[in-house]
Amino acid sequence: MSSTYGWNGSVTAGEFVSVDHSRVVDEINVALDAVNSADIEVGLNDMKLIERFIMTKEGRPGTYEVFEDFEPFFQSDGAYLDPEEYKKTYDKWTFNRQSYTVKNGSFEPEMFKKWKENGIDPTNELLDKTMKIIEKYNNVYKPNIVFETLMTVPTTAGGFYSKFGFARNTAVKKSAIIDYNPTATDGALGSLTRNHYRAINSNVGVSIEDVTFVKDYIAEYQGVDENNLICLGNSSSLTQFRNLYSDFSPTTETILNGGIVDGVQGWEVDGISLIKTKMLPRNMLLFIDGGIESLITKLVSTVAEYRGLSIIPENKLIKFEDVQSLQGSKFIILDEGYHLTGRLSGLWLDIDPARYDGSGTRLMQSAGFTELARRATTVRGLWNKEVIATA
């Protein structure tokens, strides 16, 4: 199938290449098919773990999903008892997409002219350039945009569906909490106002009590098993966590599933799977409900041809027949959007002693939010030329 608009999506690459195609065109299209395949294995372990928490949703920019919220209750029946009606409320999330042109990823006619004048065969040059773009898309863009989504901090308060990101002083319904306590302060155990940005309780460092609080807090949600938690952190952060347990030793009994979980090595401590990743800032731990399937919602086009990394020919070519036909084309990441929709399925714990909260509420301090925002900007700057990471 070919695009009448001149968009040569890599998913259908094999169908618009003619019989007389050159080797480089063939290899480019095969590589694009592979990198956009749902079965492709990203080179970095960080992405392998997160991929199973991403739900793909098809739709146009501005697509929204309506949620009908209600709390049905049962009551004692009797001859003179009329059942109370429940009140329905409707909320919606609006999803958006964005595309990205690959800087220095164009096949300009001037480039071909220069190669010809210098007696350079464009075949290997084109292939080398293309493979470098594909490698960066697969191993830099994909994991970094996902972890940037995880580290993006939402503004405080507001309705549950009014924004994306983990709950931050966000109210939930009573039916979501197992042990609702009407006297609990906002953010505390039993409160309907939830806060998934926490800090340790002492400037000495992380303690077992801090970890226990996290488990108890997440365990309050209906349908969540606190013994199915995954904790992500860099090597030094997880070492601090692991060292809290004096009986821990990296034996075959404590190594998860023979040492591999979703292709990533990790250990189990106190019922929590510890997974190392270099993507998170130091002294930050991210706890994720291991049973969640839609932590992040990825919005893509309803047409498979318009997804992923593709080549768009400027001159409306229907087929890439040889290297010359690539002139005027450019690489583009077709529009997609990443939204953190699992607002109650993850929790950040800041374990930096300098950023502790000694009030007993274990709330993340402003310096902790600043660190998350700084790192989110940094990882975006690794693939987005328009973003400059701040120190």
What's the 3-state SS for the chain? CCCCCCCECHHHHHHCCCCCCCHHHHHHHHHHHHHCCCCCCCCCHHHHHHHHHEEEEECCCCEEEEEEECCCCCCCCCCCCCCCCCCCEEEEEEECCEEEEEEEEEECHHHHHHHHHCCCCHHHHHHHHHHHHHHHHHHHHHHHHHHHHHHCCCCCCCCCCCCCCCCEEEECCHHHECCCCCCCCCCCCCCCEEECEEECCCCCCCCHHHHHHHHHHHHCECCCCHHHEEEEECHHHHHHHHCCCCCCCCCCCCEHHHHCECCECEEEECCEEEEECCCCCCCEEEEEECCCCCCEEEEECCCHHHCCEEEEECCCCCCCCCHHHHCCEEEEEEEEEEEECCCCCEEEEECCHHHCCCCCCCECCHHHHHHHHHHHHHHHHCCCCCCCCCC
- More confidently predicted of 61 and 18: 61
- Range 187-193 average pLDDT: 96
- Is 189 among the domain residues? yes
Does residue 36 register a pLDDT over 50? yes
Q: Is the full-model pTM beyond 0.75?
A: yes
Percentage above 90 pLDDT, the chain: 42
Question: What pLDDT, on the 0 to 100 scale, is given for residue 175?
Answer: 84
Most confidently predicted of 105-119, 174-188, 196-210, 309-323:
196-210
Question: What pLDDT, on the 0 to 100 scale, is given for residue 186?
Answer: 94
- More confidently predicted of 266 and 301: 301
- Range 77-96 average pLDDT: 66
Mean pLDDT lowest among 56-70, 124-138, 197-211, 249-263: 249-263
Question: What pLDDT, on the 0 to 100 scale, is given for residue 112?
Answer: 80
Reported as a single tens digit per residue, the pLDDT across 279-317 is 999 999 999 998 887 899 999 999 888 889 988 876 554
Question: What pLDDT, on the 0 to 100 scale, is given for residue 125?
Answer: 80
- Range 56-84 average pLDDT: 69
- Range 135-146 average pLDDT: 90
- Is 319 among the domain residues? yes
Does residue 41 register a pLDDT over 70? no
Question: What pLDDT, on the 0 to 100 scale, is given for residue 220?
Answer: 95
Mean pLDDT lowest among 5-9, 213-217, 338-342: 5-9
Give the structural domain span for 325.
10-381
- Is 254 among the domain residues? yes
Question: What pLDDT, on the 0 to 100 scale, is given for residue 362?
Answer: 96
- More confidently predicted of 105 and 97: 97
Question: What pLDDT, on the 0 to 100 scale, is given for residue 92?
Answer: 87
Confidence of residue 161 (pLDDT cuts 50, 70, 90): very high
- More confidently predicted of 371 and 250: 371
Does residue 256 register a pLDDT over 80? no
- Is 193 among the domain residues? yes
- Is 390 among the domain residues? no
- Range 361-368 average pLDDT: 97
Question: What pLDDT, on the 0 to 100 scale, is given for residue 21?
Answer: 47
- More confidently predicted of 34 and 378: 378
- Is 4 among the domain residues? no
Reported as a single tens digit per residue, the pLDDT across 195-250 is 999 999 999 999 999 999 999 999 999 888 888 899 999 989 998 998 898 765 55
Does residue 255 register a pLDDT over 60? no
Q: What is the mean pLDDT of the chain?
A: 81
- Range 48-71 average pLDDT: 82
Cβ burial, residue 248 (10 Å; 0-12/13-18/19+): middle
Asked if residue 41 lies in contact with residue 48, where contact means CB atoms within 8 angstroms, the answer is: yes
- More confidently predicted of 310 and 90: 310
Our count of domains for the chain comes to 1
Does residue 265 register a pLDDT over 80? no
- Is 336 among the domain residues? yes
- More confidently predicted of 258 and 49: 49
- Range 363-382 average pLDDT: 95
- Range 240-263 average pLDDT: 60
- Is 386 among the domain residues? no
